[in-house]
Amino acid sequence: MKKSAPAHGVTPSASDLRHLAFCALCALEFSRQDGKISNAHSETLFMVRWLSTAQKQKRFPKSVASEITLMLDRGRRYGTDANLCNHLETLWNMNNHSIARGSDLFRLTQAIQAMKNLGWENYTVSEEEWVQQDNAGIEANGFIVEKAALHEAFDCHGRLTESLEIHVIGKASIFEQQLNEHKFPNKKSAKSGNLTLVTIYPPQVRSCE
C-alpha cells in the first residue's frame, strides 16, 4: 500500500525563500517611498494584500507556497502583532550569508535604512520637484531621489541597469561611506550650497547566470 505524500512535502530551497523575501521587502520599501504606508497597520494591510495576490497569481515556486500561506494566516489573525516585515527580514538573513551577494535593489534599501537609523531624512520626489532642486524644507541631513528614475534604474530582478542620481543634503561623505560599504560604485560632485549630487553606478562585474 502506497503512503500518501504530505500536503507540503516540498522543502523550500534557500534561494526560493531568499527570492520571496527580497520581492516582498522591495515591494514594501517602494510602497513606503510612494507614501502609501504610514504606520504598522497600513504596513500589515499592504503585506497581506501583496501575499494574497502573489498566492492567487502563483508568482513563486510551489516550494514556498506553505510559507506564503503561513504569513497570510498570521497577518489576518494577528494583524500588526504578526510582525510580517520582521519575519521577512529574518527569512532573508537566514538564507543570505553575504551582503555582497544580495541584489542591487535590496542592498540600496539596506543602505537607505542604515542612513535613516543615523537620523537622515529620505525623500522621493516628482520630476518637476527634482528639476527645481527645492530642498528648503530639509533642515537636517537628508537625500532626495526622483521617483521615476528610481523605478527605471532597476530591472525586474532588482539589478541596477543604469546610473542613478541622488541629491544629498549635508555631509555627503557619510552617505558616500554607506554606498561603499554596500558595494555601490559612486561619484560625487558639488552642486550649490549644501547640496551634493551623488551618482551610483551598476557594478562593473556580474557573475554569469
Helix (H) or strand (E) holding 82, with range, is none
Max alpha carbon distance in the chain (Å)?
A: 80
**At residue 63, what is the residue type?**
S
Compute the distance between CA of residue 41 and CA of residue 80 in angstroms, rounded to an integer: 6
What is the pLDDT at residue 204? Answer: 66
What is the pLDDT at residue 62? Answer: 87
Compute the distance between CA of residue 102 and CA of residue 104 in angstroms, rounded to an integer: 7
Does pTM surpass 0.75?
Answer: no
Q: What are the pLDDT tens digits along the chain (209 aa)?
A: 333 333 344 566 777 887 888 888 888 888 887 778 888 889 999 999 999 999 998 888 888 888 899 999 999 999 988 888 888 887 777 665 544 456 788 788 878 877 887 788 888 888 888 877 655 556 678 888 898 898 889 887 778 999 999 999 888 888 888 888 888 999 988 766 778 899 999 876 443 33
What is the pLDDT at residue 99? Answer: 47
- DSSP bridge pairs for 199: 165, 187
Please check whether residue 28 is in contact with residue 48, taking contact to mean a CB–CB distance below 8 angstroms. no
What is the pLDDT at residue 101? Answer: 53
